Amino acid sequence: MSRFSTDSIVGIIGAGAMGSGIAQVAAMAGHNVVVYDTNAVALGNSKDKLEKILNRLVEKGKIESVESITSKIIYAANLSALEDCSLIIEAIIENLDIKKKVFADVEAIVSDDCVIATNTSSLSVTSIAAACNKAERVLGLHFFNPAPLMALVEVVPAVQSDDAIVQECKALMSSWKKVPVIAKDTPGFIVNRVARPFYGEAIRMMEEGIADAATIDWAMTEAGGFRMGPFTLTDYIGHDVNYVVTETVFESFFYDPRYKPSFSQKRLLEAGWLGRKTGRGFFNYAEGAAQPEPNKDTVLANNIVARVVVMLINEAVDALHLNIASAEDLELAMTKGVNYPKGLLVWCDEWGADKVLNILDGLYNEYHEDRYRASALLRKAAANGSKFMS
């Protein structure tokens, strides 16, 4: 029997956008929720923004009343308010030392049965768990922003995690109408690891002068079927977030060239041109600013798509090779987490592993850079003519 009935209380640490979103998800799933933050202003803002969101849901007929959800949520500035929780999800700043202190403080006040989860997107769950005496009750539950709208949750066991707790949390996420996938505790987990070339290879082509940002975005959406081009997407995410994730993954993988950040994006960060939020990024969002016209050359577009997609496929295949996740979970993560037009392993099957390998090897032979090295599993599939999702 699961410890997580709808009578159980869910605690959220952090009243920012992510914490508030997870609180909304938990409350709408029927749980009583405690949102804890040391910042009273953040708590007030979280409450106000949630009421506005819920009012819109009432107007659309999605919920009966605002009070049916808000009555389930308590906002607290005192850590002791979390003492009766069955599950606590931390969603604060991506700083390992701060997270470890918070986990140690939380463990001191909760019951022995309370599960403590981190929403980290880039830090070691194992390292965070090590701050607790009962490290087996710690795991990662990585939601995607905005949490109420994004279906995917990466469930990340630490080395120390009790598998029974991991499976209970996976089932809980399903009951919250999320799509949970199990990911090994390695940098970037699934999505933030596999998706790196979508940004990195696009920027590389721009830096080389193969095409400008507008053309690459047009190619990836029109010829590639992606919902948003890489430059538009990084501007939307914010370079203070997207670049930092890339840099963190690069450093965490012992400076593997496959994840190398770009100077172009770093310069935007240094200039304070963070994207839409500041009015300027790769593109200019000022009112009346002229937007660049793409070069709608279909041959160029297909070459751009091929170069980015084979890099993405190679990452997915290598993640499978290294048992980061199952093939099914890899496909779910990339279609539900970042809304790719199809799973990357299916994409490889459709193109043929031999075609993907030929393009990658062509890039490697041209550049002699390790960023283009093909996964051993891709080479094996090409040699055998085998498929990943058959």
Q: How far is CA 96 from CA 116, 121, 176, in A?
A: 15, 12, 28
And the tokens for 378?
């891709």
For the stretch 10-40, pLDDT in tens is 999 999 999 999 999 999 999 999 999 999 9
Cβ atoms of 6 and 72 within 8 Å: the answer is no
Tell me what pLDDT residue 5 has.
Answer: 87
Domains and CATH numbers, the chain: 9-182 (3.40.50.720), 193-384 (1.10.1040.50)
DSSP character at residue 210? S
The Cα 390–Cα 370 span in angstroms is 30
And the tokens for 272?
């304070």
The Cα 59–Cα 290 span in angstroms is 37
Q: What is the mean pLDDT of residues 68-82?
A: 96
Count Cβ atoms below 10 Å from residue 112 Cβ, excluding itself. Answer: 8
Give yes or no for residue 1 having a pLDDT over 70. no
For the stretch 281-333, pLDDT in tens is 999 999 999 999 999 999 999 999 999 999 999 999 999 999 999 999 999 99
> Would residue 292 be called left, alpha or beta, if left means φ above 0 and alpha means ψ between -120 and 50 degrees?
beta
And the tokens for 248?
């963190």
Residue listed under structure tokens 């070069």:
295
Percent of the chain with pLDDT over 90: 95
Q: What is the mean pLDDT of residues 125-132?
A: 98
Mean pLDDT of the chain: 96
Query: DSSP per residue over 156-172, as a string?
Result: EE-TT--HHHHHHHHHH
Cβ atoms of 216 and 202 within 8 Å: the answer is yes
Query: What residues are annotated to the active site?
Result: 121, 142, 154, 192
For the stretch 210-231, pLDDT in tens is 999 999 999 999 999 999 999 9
Give yes or no for residue 64 having a pLDDT over 70. yes
Tell me what pLDDT residue 7 has.
Answer: 87
Tell me what pLDDT residue 3 has.
Answer: 80
Residue listed under structure tokens 């140690």:
104
Tell me what pLDDT residue 383 has.
Answer: 98
Q: Beta strand 179-182 with 152-157: parallel, antiparallel or unpaired? A: parallel
SS3 284: strand
And the tokens for 227?
């919902």
For the stretch 241-280, pLDDT in tens is 999 999 999 999 999 999 999 999 999 999 999 999 999 9
Percent of the chain with pLDDT over 70: 99
Radius of gyration for the alpha carbons in the chain, expressed in angstroms and rounded: 22
Tell me what pLDDT residue 59 has.
Answer: 92
Residue listed under structure tokens 């490290």:
135
For the stretch 354-375, pLDDT in tens is 999 999 999 999 999 999 999 9
Tell me what pLDDT residue 6 has.
Answer: 83
Q: Which residues contact 285 (CB under 8 A, 6 or more apart)?
A: 235, 275, 276, 279
Per-residue b/e over 364-373, b at no fewer than 16 CB within 10 Å? eeeeeeebbb
DSSP character at residue 380? H
